[in-house]
Amino acid sequence: MFSVTVRDHMMVAHSFRGEVFGPAQRLHGATFVVDATFRRAELDADGIVVDIGRATEELRAVLAELTYRNLDDEPAFAGVNTTTEVLCRTVADRLAERAHAGALGAGARELAGITVTLHESHIAWASYERSL
Amino acid sequence: MFSVTVRDHMMVAHSFRGEVFGPAQRLHGATFVVDATFRRAELDADGIVVDIGRATEELRAVLAELTYRNLDDEPAFAGVNTTTEVLCRTVADRLAERAHAGALGAGARELAGITVTLHESHIAWASYERSL
Amino acid sequence: MFSVTVRDHMMVAHSFRGEVFGPAQRLHGATFVVDATFRRAELDADGIVVDIGRATEELRAVLAELTYRNLDDEPAFAGVNTTTEVLCRTVADRLAERAHAGALGAGARELAGITVTLHESHIAWASYERSL
Amino acid sequence: MFSVTVRDHMMVAHSFRGEVFGPAQRLHGATFVVDATFRRAELDADGIVVDIGRATEELRAVLAELTYRNLDDEPAFAGVNTTTEVLCRTVADRLAERAHAGALGAGARELAGITVTLHESHIAWASYERSL
Amino acid sequence: MFSVTVRDHMMVAHSFRGEVFGPAQRLHGATFVVDATFRRAELDADGIVVDIGRATEELRAVLAELTYRNLDDEPAFAGVNTTTEVLCRTVADRLAERAHAGALGAGARELAGITVTLHESHIAWASYERSL
Amino acid sequence: MFSVTVRDHMMVAHSFRGEVFGPAQRLHGATFVVDATFRRAELDADGIVVDIGRATEELRAVLAELTYRNLDDEPAFAGVNTTTEVLCRTVADRLAERAHAGALGAGARELAGITVTLHESHIAWASYERSL
């Protein structure tokens, strides 16, 4: 199995509901350094998993819909805690939609799966792994 | 599949028995930067894999039993080489015991597995992965 | 010249005023990974720049006054853009006050200066350096 | 499952054929920071996955055949784009050959697999995972 | 003293003349992860050292003139070894020219200096520091 | 001013005397990731600060005298706490001796200074800077 990963980041404000979150129930923020990994069983004729330029652009486009915002105000997250885990799934699912729509090129139909990791600090991160 | 990882560290002395270890047969030491990863198929009602605050505390508690010690003197490791691999398993198994005992909360019963990675330097690390 | 650095982090929401900030004029957030460096010309009798345990506690105490908050609501920052640079100075000045008040121990009177670096992402950081 | 990873690097020139590569069709170069991971279900009698000294030497030997070269001139890559993905497979396959030939010791016969990751920058990397 | 640093990278081929370079006399390549640091004694009215957006764009523009090239073919480096140290100075000098020409904004006239660091691998890097 | 830095590591056991050290008064250990920085006002005729190959070898030689040892048993440290700060000075002074003895080549006579940084974990490090 092969994989390619590209890294970008987003900077958001949000708050959480639920006693388990302690002080994070207050409005605060985070830089999420985001790693998007694309997996594929065999390489294409060019010797790649995916066009890394396109992968980078699509990740940037997905993060552009989230960054520099207060996620508490985003309709897409109404009634949902925007935890690091939830945001991993959001980014992975939106990348999967774009892959299905052809944004990563024809070869992206051969992708086996996507994993998205969000680093919230130097001591904590989360991941979500899905098939395509 | 979702995962959450928290990082901490420990600083220990130890020595190894066996020619394969070369100069590491002498008493020496290591800082182990420790990553504990908790895996779970679905998120709980709060949108998390595990209470990250509790996960951090439990990892710290497990490492507090090991750090600032000469592991050659610890009864738990009598007759055992405390290699990076063995210590990964020790940390993972002790975290698993705590999860089973409820230290990570009721939701932790849904955890699928734990992976522990110990970084012994900028050029070498080891991991142990187990189910829960 | 000797120095010792300890690392911690904070997670805040804020917004900026001024066209130069572009989309960062909207309410957003950041994780700041914070490095506090203490400088001293000669080591003390124990062979240290500063008690690293105390330095860690004081940095944590300074960051506890800032983390998990919307800095736009903090009286201390009324009328001030809480840029990465400004927050570096805030953390450095508050550490300096604590050093002067004895929180870092008697030996801390020999400290020559403090530098604080805030990493806002994997591709951008700022620093502020001052004497003591 | 246990694993051990060792890190080294190589510095190569190369160019790619295919429109998908854009400006990388020109002769350029890369530092690849290389992580070689060895997996094994159970530890050996010494408590290790593999002799980390030998693993480091074998990785260095494999990279010595590639580093400080223009890969466009290497017969082994005639007609092949030496993408990060392809080079991951090359390094993994050559390590596997050496493991099979006994270079990692008798215990290496118990290895379950090898994963090789090449970091081409702070924002992009690729991996290849194979069984042994 | 305040500073702000932004990070980008370039991927080049080159070779060196001189016995001191050993195997690096052959055509090879490198990824240089580039950190550009801008220093200033006092912050401007917005609370910043420099517009980080512009600093990022100017660094990218400087690196765009170097990346995905064989530096042995660049007239700017005729008769010069493009060592990591030399490339640090090239990037710093070109950023300084742009700052003087106003590309970083009017406030950039207050900049005290620039430092450029090029990381050639996980175990080696170089820097060049100059005033403005 | 130019600088070049090379990185290596050592793994030692030791203990400290003095209440300020708390649990670190017990025999424990550390991995020190060591960065040695060589500074010079102007580059030599080859375009370098120092032969990076020699610098790497000399750093390795200095660390070879310390690694895989219990520093409490080393005569060189009798009556001295081998704190991170003290070890920074030891490594810097030993590199300076080697530079003066010609081990870094004739050009090394032009070196302005050396800085040594020891990283004891992901959250703490120390440095010592000296002239040559």
Report the chain E residue with the minimal C-alpha distance to residue F6.
E124
Handedness of CA E130, F4, F7, F8 (dihedral sign): negative
B7 CB neighbours in chain A (<8 A) are: 122-124
Question: What is the pLDDT at residue B109?
Answer: 84
DSSP letter, residue B51? -
Task: Choose among C14, C26, C31: nearest Cβ to A121.
Answer: C31
Measured CA to CA, the distance from residue A61 to residue A55 in angstroms comes to 10
CB contact under 8 A, B46 and A81: yes
Q: How confident is the model at residue C119 (pLDDT cuts 50, 70, 90)?
A: very high
**Interval B11-59: pLDDT, tens:** 999 999 999 999 999 999 999 999 999 999 999 999 999 999 999 999 9
CB contact under 8 A, A5 and D83: no
* Residue ranges of A 15-74 with Cβ closer than 8 A to chain D: 43, 46-49, 51-53, 56
Question: What is the pLDDT at residue F98?
Answer: 97
Question: What is the pLDDT at residue E83?
Answer: 98
Q: How far is CA B85 from CA B113, D38, D50, in A?
A: 17, 12, 10
Note the Cα C94 to chain centre separation in Å: 8
Measured CA to CA, the distance from residue F84 to residue F87 in angstroms comes to 5
Question: What is the pLDDT at residue E8?
Answer: 98
**3-state helix vs strand vs coil in chain C, percent to 5:** 35, 35, 30
Percent of chain F with pLDDT over 70: 100
CB contact under 8 A, B126 and D7: no
Q: What is the DSSP string of E19-86?
A: GGGGGGGSSEEEEEEEEEEEEESS--TTS-SS-HHHHHHHHHHHHHTTSSEEGGG-GGGTTS---HHH
Question: What is the pLDDT at residue C4?
Answer: 98
Report the chain B residue with the minimal C-alpha distance to residue E122.
B122
The answer to whether ipTM exceeds 0.90 is yes
E123 CB neighbours in chain B (<8 A) are: 122
Question: What is the pLDDT at residue A106?
Answer: 82
Chains E–F, number of C-beta pairs less than 8 Å apart: 55
Instruction: Tell me which chains share at least 3 CB pairs under 8 Å with chain F.
Output: A, B, C, E
E53 CB neighbours in chain C (<8 A) are: 20, 22
pLDDT one digit per residue (tens) for chain D, 132 residues: 999 999 999 999 999 999 999 999 999 999 999 999 999 999 999 999 999 999 999 999 999 999 999 999 999 999 999 999 999 999 999 999 999 999 998 878 899 999 999 999 999 999 999 999
Could you tell me which residue, C106 or C42, shows the higher pLDDT?
C42
* Residue ranges of A 104-123 with Cβ closer than 8 A to chain F: 122-123
E16 CB neighbours in chain F (<8 A) are: 46
Question: What is the pLDDT at residue E108?
Answer: 80
Cβ atoms of F91 and F21 closer than 8 Å: no
Strands (E), A15-123: 28-40, 69-70, 113-121
Interval B100-111 mean pLDDT:
89
Question: What is the pLDDT at residue E109?
Answer: 84
CB contact under 8 A, C11 and A26: no
DSSP letter, residue D15? -
- What global pTM score does this model have? 0.98
Question: What is the pLDDT at residue E68?
Answer: 98
Question: What is the pLDDT at residue A18?
Answer: 97
Question: What is the pLDDT at residue B107?
Answer: 76
**Interval F57-80: pLDDT, tens:** 999 999 999 999 999 999 999 999
* DSSP reduced 3-state for C36: strand
Cβ atoms of D113 and D131 closer than 8 Å: yes
Q: Does C85 touch chain E (CB under 8 A)?
A: yes
Measured CA to CA, the distance from residue D3 to residue D7 in angstroms comes to 13
Report the chain A residue with the minimal C-alpha distance to residue C65.
A23
- Ranges of residues in chain E whose predicted pLDDT is under 50: none
Is residue C109 scored above 90 in pLDDT?
Answer: no
Interval C5-10 mean pLDDT:
98
Strands C113-121 and B69-70, sheet pairing: unpaired
Q: How far is CA E116 from CA C11, C116, E62, in A?
A: 29, 19, 12
